[in-house]
Amino acid sequence: MKLLQTILAFLVALGALVTIHEFGHYLAARLCGVKVLRFSVGMGKVIFSRKFGKDQTEWAISMLPLGGYVKMLDRRDLGDEPIASEDLPREFCRQSVWKRIAIVAAGPIANFLLAIFLYAALFLHGIPEPIAKIRVPSVNSIAYEVGLRHGDEILSVNGKAIHSWGDAQWELMQSALAKKTAELVVTRVTDGDAPVPPQKLQRVVDLPLQRLSAKDLETDFLTPLGFSLARPPAVLGEILEGGRGQLAGLKKGDRILTVNGEKVLDGLAFTEKVNASAAVPLRLRVQRQGAELDMTATPELENIDGVKLGRLKVQLLLAPEMTLIQTGAIESLWKASQKTWDTSLMSFSMLGKMLSGEVSLKNVTGPLTIADYAGKTSRSGLISYLSFMALISISLGVMNLLPIPVLDGGHLLYYSLEVLTGKPVSERFGEIAQRAGLALLMAIMAVAFFNDIVRLMS
């Protein structure tokens, strides 16, 4: 069932994004006076079509639900077939270079506009996101060394206000790619041992992101620094009947303070400790209704997918503290435009660093990874799925702007040369460049498929 949902989510997302891309080309062609012969959703053999309008443009659905295309009146596609005299002024190659640039650029622009629309709708509706509160599990980490502490909440990074964990990750990633130190303003609640009553204090912390290696940037780049998203305290939820937790006397609402005399950082730390302690007695200090109790629990050994884990059969609340990111109509549009712009620049920056060797080619992803994320986000809910579609729409726009022949960016490169030299690129040169571009694109796809397979297998 999950596989079917993943396939459907992938096909819906890709079909919608490609259709919007091609509709950008179609609309620009009509506005520039170019005759459009066919608009196809899908590739390959046409399985259904209808003709509409004065030009009798064929609107078609083709067999392969991957991609789509707009077929314009273009002498290069007709060979020796003559063009009717009344249609000659509407042939693509007869248009001015600026009109051709507009038609080609309209596809990627449509993808960027779709991303802005989706993000604006999400911001207007409200997006639940984790607050930017950090988890610092080790005193030997870089995070602890520079002054970050467990429970600190990030207020700003390099002067930019932070409203959620996603904002913090984004700003820190940009500093990491630039190999710069990030200035964090954090707020901290003083603990009970402080000489003053608990209160919020602000601190400025310099985080040396240049200490990260290229390999660190391939995964969760914050883990090598020693911090991650904060989790709630180790407070128990439901206690399953007959489990080792119930036998030990644990009850719903108990807060685990220590295990074997060591302070428990949060619910995640307690889970990890239990998982690693199959059949090993654990001495627990538990807080229950203001009182502290001592008890012993021995996790039951369970073999899960070949891995031996300890289980007490108690539920823990591990979901992070959330906030709702919601803005008004005008602010939503501005915020969406800014996010689309920043994401596009980040994508181009990552591509440049891949070419220079600063970032590994392992970061290149293909359709298998996209399909995997399509399935996961669709199961998480509509907000996650629409956010995924906005991100992929930006990626599609960026990819099509790459100066590779066969892509929109390659044609824009030709037309830019035509603007500079005053004459179009020769057809012979164009044919050679098309073959080279196709070979390069196939090589990129091969790398992407290889990375997808390795990623899914691991």
Instruction: State residue 62 phi and psi, 5-degree precision.
Output: -105, 170
- Gap between the Cα atoms of 313 and 335, Å rounded: 44
- In CATH, the architecture of 134-229 is Roll (2.30)
* Cβ pair 202, 155 in contact under 8 A: yes
Express each pLDDT in 258-270 by its tens digit. Answer: 999 999 999 999 9
CATH 2.30.42.10 assigned to domain 236-316? The reply is: yes
Q: Which of 173, 216, 456 is nearest to 360 (CA)?
A: 216
Express each pLDDT in 35-47 by its tens digit. Answer: 999 999 888 888 9
Roughly what angle, to the nearest 10 degrees, separates helices 408-421 and 97-125?
140
- Gap between the Cα atoms of 255 and 293, Å rounded: 10
* For residue 274, pLDDT beyond 60: yes
* Cβ pair 100, 28 in contact under 8 A: no
pLDDT band, residue 194 (cuts 50/70/90): very low
* Cα radius of gyration rounded to whole Å, the chain: 28
pLDDT band, residue 198 (cuts 50/70/90): low
Domains of the chain, by residue range, sit at 97-126+328-458, 134-229, 236-316
Q: Which of 10, 147, 123 is nearest to 67 (CA)?
A: 10
**pLDDT given for residue 196 in this prediction:** 54
* For residue 192, pLDDT beyond 60: no
* Cβ pair 452, 365 in contact under 8 A: yes
The mean pLDDT of the chain is: 89
Three-class SS state of 91: coil
- Provide the CA 430 distance to its chain's centre, in angstroms: 35
**pLDDT given for residue 264 in this prediction:** 93
The conformational region for residue 103 under phi > 0 = left, psi -120 to 50 = alpha, else beta, is: alpha
Express each pLDDT in 365-378 by its tens digit. Answer: 888 888 888 999 99
Alpha helices in 137-252 (DSSP H): 142-145, 165-177, 244-248
- Gap between the Cα atoms of 212 and 210, Å rounded: 5
Query: Which residues does residue 130 pair with via DSSP β-bridges, in sequence order?
Result: 322
pLDDT band, residue 197 (cuts 50/70/90): low
**pLDDT given for residue 430 in this prediction:** 78
pLDDT band, residue 217 (cuts 50/70/90): confident
| Active site amino acids | 22
* Cβ pair 311, 302 in contact under 8 A: yes
- Gap between the Cα atoms of 182 and 53, Å rounded: 57
* Cβ pair 412, 397 in contact under 8 A: no
* For residue 145, pLDDT beyond 90: yes
Q: Residue 426 burial by CB count (10 A; 0-12/13-18/19+): exposed, middle or buried?
A: exposed
Alpha helices in 141-228 (DSSP H): 142-145, 165-177
* Cβ pair 104, 411 in contact under 8 A: yes
Express each pLDDT in 393-411 by its tens digit. Answer: 999 999 999 998 889 999 9
* For residue 15, pLDDT beyond 90: no
Q: What is the mean pLDDT of residues 329-342?
A: 95
- Provide the CA 351 distance to its chain's centre, in angstroms: 15
**pLDDT given for residue 401 in this prediction:** 94
Roughly what angle, to the nearest 10 degrees, separates helices 367-380 and 427-457?
50
Give the C-alpha distances (Å, rounded to integers) separating 424 from 99, 214, 418: 14, 42, 5
